[in-house]
């Protein structure tokens, strides 16, 4: 357990260190390689690299809610139930279940009662205004796992469709908002949290495909 979280902390630190190494360049690019590693480049040589606005002027005090990354680890009680709900919802809405589960892990650490500083709620940390688009009308409902995961998966599907199935852009929009992605010319916004968030979800999804989800 301790080794697992130490390794995860090292991975996030390594990704951020790599990001700051290229911060002085105009638009560094990020790619999750087939080896599961995160690669940065100033001049991408592969179509799977996604441009960011790291170091650009759009970084501001209105960065996303950093409690997603900083939140202390919560209890994973009911993990099997959450896994089943993520698989069912992902399958139902045509979204990779491993990525749904990874997003839940990064957003809330499987804490159904999680509430961020900005008011995002539940397992997938949905804002009430966003949840309302998917028929969720009360804050209490956002803390019901089956409701939260269904609405969050539907929202993720909308973002994937909007960004032509680009997971990095969809995840960036989920974290920082579609407006931030638009203002960044459809690049990953240069917010510190978002630059940590995107590779963290992608890496967790790769792990869940191997370790937790059924074949």
Q: Are strands 38-41 and 29-32 parallel, antiparallel or unpaired?
A: antiparallel
Q: What are phi and psi of 185, to 5 degrees?
A: 60, 45
Q: Measured between alpha carbons, how far is residue 149 from residues 66, 81, 160, 167 in Å?
A: 21, 12, 16, 18
Q: Write down the H helix ranges in the chain.
A: 2-21, 67-70, 79-93, 97-108, 128-132, 139-142, 145-162, 167-176, 178-183, 192-211
Active-site residue identified among 107, 146, 193, 206: 107
| Tokens standing for residue 106 | 């990064």
178 is catalytic: no
SS3 126: strand
Listed in sequence order, the residues at least 6 apart from 15 whose beta carbon sits closer than 8 Å to its beta carbon are 38, 195, 196, 199, 200
Q: What are phi and psi of 114, to 5 degrees?
A: -60, 135
Please say whether the beta carbons of 64 and 191 come within 8 A: yes
| Tokens standing for residue 164 | 């032509």
Kindly write down the DSSP assignment for every residue of 175-214, as one continuous string: HH-HHHHHHTTSSB---HHHHHHHHHHHHHHHHHHHHTS-
- Catalytic site residues? 107
């Amino acid at each position: 357990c301790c080794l697992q979280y130490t390794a995860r902390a090292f991975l996030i630190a390594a990704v951020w260190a790599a990001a700051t190494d290229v911060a002085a360049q105009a638009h560094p690019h990020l790619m999750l390689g087939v080896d599961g590693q995160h690669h940065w480049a100033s001049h991408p040589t592969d179509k799977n690299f996604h441009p960011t606005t790291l170091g650009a002027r759009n970084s501001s005090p209105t960065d996303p809610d950093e409690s997603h990354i900083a939140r202390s680890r919560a209890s994973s009680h009911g993990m099997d139930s959450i896994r089943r709900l993520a698989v069912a919802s992902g399958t139902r809405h045509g979204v990779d279940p491993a990525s749904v589960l990874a997003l839940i892990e990064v957003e809330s650490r499987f804490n159904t009662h999680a509430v961020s500083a900005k008011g995002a709620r539940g397992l997938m940390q949905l804002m009430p205004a966003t949840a309302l688009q998917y028929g969720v009308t009360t804050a209490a409902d956002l803390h019901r796992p089956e409701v939260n995961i269904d609405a969050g998966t539907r929202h993720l599907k909308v973002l994937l469709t909007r960004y032509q199935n680009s997971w990095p852009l969809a995840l960036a929009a989920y974290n920082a908002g579609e407006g931030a992605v638009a203002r960044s010319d459809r690049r990953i916004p240069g917010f510190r949290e978002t630059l940590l968030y995107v590779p963290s979800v992608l890496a967790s999804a790769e792990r869940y495909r191997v370790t937790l989800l059924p074949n």
